[in-house]
Amino acid sequence: MQAGAHQVKSVEDAAAASEVIVVCVLDYAVSESLLTPAAVAEKLRGKTLVQLTSGTPPLAREAEAWAQNNSISYLDGAIISYPSGVGTPDCTILYAGQRQVFEAHKQLLGCHAGNSMFLGESIGSASALDSSLLTFGFTAELGFLHGAALCEAEGIPIDSYRQAANALMPILAADMLKAAAMIPKANYAGEVSLQVAASAFGNILRFSDEAGVDRAGSESLVTLVKRAIDAGYGGDEFPAVFEVLRTRKRLDRIDGLDRRDQLSDHEELPLGPQRQQRVRSLFIDQLFGHLFSFLRVPSLNQIEC
């Protein structure tokens, strides 16, 4: 309100007030309950709806189909930021949908974030990348918290742990880039095999039990590594775990296509080089940047990835 927004009494009034309507609520079910009543849908006809509610690719496709049936231009998006970051230069918002719709409102959308990232016309792209970033970021933070519990059990100060973890960050960033290069080729040969790493992972579980620390997060890691070894990847590096995570049914978004194919074990649909680099940069800048801000201590300078 302080920035100049005007409060209205109903969703119908809000839909009538602007040519571009931005929605960000709890989930798609709430959004549907607000937007699909006939009176609201009629007010939205001929306008642009920008959906920034968190969801899944199938939900995005359903929303786009509904919008098309009601003559509404539609963009599906995802906010890569905490609420306090929205509207700041550090915020990134992902968008998917018709390019001409995005370009027509690019300047307006730029008011919400320093980086408005258009992913293409496959409408599920934004929510898919959003989920990917969330699982990456929070899994990393869960690992940090598990390590903090182990340190506490041995009386290691949290600041000592944070300093040591800070030194690990460039290694993690480099490993991420290495994995991104390995996955399209399905070639995971490298320096440290899963068989060797499995021994260290076993020590994590053993120490967790000895210290009385919950091991649920690490158990999932060990289970996936064991599955990869059993599948014949014991001599490969850790990114080979991707092969037990992936699904054969993949979505080809190259050149704006939206094609579902059942792939054989030898077919590949890698991201194009430009989009692959953009995704890599987003991972580093948004998620590793957040972890850097938490781990950084006064005695250490900013780390280059």
> Which residues make Cβ contacts (< 8 Å) with residue 16, sequence separation at least 6?
43
Helix (H, G, I), strand (E, B) or coil at 95: strand
Contact criterion met (CB below 8 Å) for 130 and 78: yes
Parallel, antiparallel, or unpaired: how do β-strands 73-80 and 92-97 relate?
A: antiparallel
Residues 201-212 have pLDDT tens digits of: 999 999 999 999
Residues 161-178 have pLDDT tens digits of: 999 999 999 999 999 999
**Mean pLDDT, the chain, whole residue set:** 85
- Could you state, in order of their start, the residue ranges of all structural domains in the chain? 11-123, 128-295
244-261 residues labelled b (16+ CB within 10 A) or e (exposed): beeeeeebebeeeeeeee
Return the half-sphere exposure (C-beta side, CA atoms, 13 A cut-off) of residue 257: 11
DSSP state of 287: I
pLDDT at 274 over 80: no
Contact criterion met (CB below 8 Å) for 166 and 303: yes
What percentage of the chain exceeds 90 in pLDDT? 77
- Give the CA-trace dihedral at 243, 248, 251, 253, to 10 degrees: 50
Q: Does domain 11-123 have CATH number 3.30.70.3270?
A: no
Q: For position 221, what pLDDT does the model report?
A: 92
Q: For position 6, what pLDDT does the model report?
A: 83
Regarding pTM above 0.85, the answer is no
Task: Please tell me the class of the 128-295 domain.
Answer: mainly alpha
Q: For position 248, what pLDDT does the model report?
A: 57
Task: Specify the higher pLDDT residue, 303 or 203.
Answer: 203
